Chains A and B, each alone.
Chain A
Amino acid sequence: GAVVSQHPSWVICKSGTSVKIECRSLDFQATTMFWYRQFPKQSLMLMATSNEGSKATYEQGVEKDKFLINHASLTLSTLTVTSAHPEDSSFYICSARVGGAGEQYFGPGTRLTVT
């Protein structure tokens, strides 16, 4: 149980275009989902926290207009990178959680390369 999927697993896009990444909890309902970014040889950095049906809370330094997060249902959250630039190339990982402070379950990640 507690499986989280991400789609796509990797994507290459041209500078200036937008890319959408999906995060799904397959066998449970996630009240909260998280989006992380990981640069090469670095650790995971939390980008934003989203609760179903409400606006995401972004961490300091993360542009909310660039990284659009939608959490429309208890099993799906999406991250849209708008007007992508090469510096947005990174590994994006989502996680999902049931309840207020329980364990987070992580997706397999999405490798984004912007050319």
Chain B
Amino acid sequence: KQEVTQIPAALSVPEGENLVLNCSFTDSAIYNLQWFRQDPGKGLTSLLLIQSSQREQTSGRLNASLDKSSGRSTLYIAASQPGDSATYLCAVSHPGAGSYQLTFGKGTKLSVIP
């Protein structure tokens, strides 16, 4: 059974700092990996999607890497801003009972202090 772990569970940084969020998964047979952002009481916003054949993806101040063989991904946020405060979820796509499905980690709650 695929399991996704995110460390740390919570992180507080001063504005302007660079930071790294970690995600690990137990089964390397994945199709892709996604990073999402979730604001309190809201749905998910997709940030980056990395196919299993890729090593990294970049979007603006965000950079996500994937090391499939070791079951790890990192999300790097450069020059953090208070607006980045949210919960960040990592999810891997893998074969499931009904179809390819996503398994989520519990998330990292990020607080960027002005």
Question: Which positions 91-109 of chain B face chain A at CB distance < 8 Å?
Answer: 91, 93, 96-107
Bound CA–CA A93/B45 (angstroms): 12
Nearest CB in chain A: distance from B100 CB, A: 4
Interface size on A, residues (CB 8 A): 28
Stretch at the interface among A11-19, A80-88, A104-112: A104-112
Which B residues lie within 8 Å of A91 (CB)?
Answer: 41
Which B residues lie within 8 Å of A32 (CB)?
Answer: 99
Which B residues lie within 8 Å of A101 (CB)?
Answer: 31-32, 93, 99-100
- Contact flag A100-B101 (CB < 8 Å), given A43-B107, A106-B43: no
In this complex, what residue of A is CB-closest to B102?
A104
Question: Which positions 13-44 of chain B face chain A at CB distance < 8 Å?
Answer: 31-32, 34, 36, 41-44
In this complex, what residue of A is CB-closest to B109?
A41
> Is B64 located at the chain interface by the 8 A CB criterion?
no
Contact size range, B: 20 to 34
Nearest CB in chain A: distance from B42 CB, A: 7
> Is B46 located at the chain interface by the 8 A CB criterion?
yes
In this complex, what residue of B is CB-closest to A55?
B98
> Is A57 located at the chain interface by the 8 A CB criterion?
yes
Other 19 A-B pairs with CB < 8 A, given A44-B44, A50-B98:
A6-B43, A34-B101, A42-B106, A43-B89, A43-B106, A44-B89, A49-B98, A51-B98, A57-B98, A59-B97, A91-B41, A93-B44, A100-B99, A101-B31, A101-B32, A103-B49, A104-B102, A106-B44, A111-B41
B residues sitting closer than 8 Å to A (CB atoms) are 31-32, 34, 36, 41-44, 46, 49, 89, 91, 93, 96-107
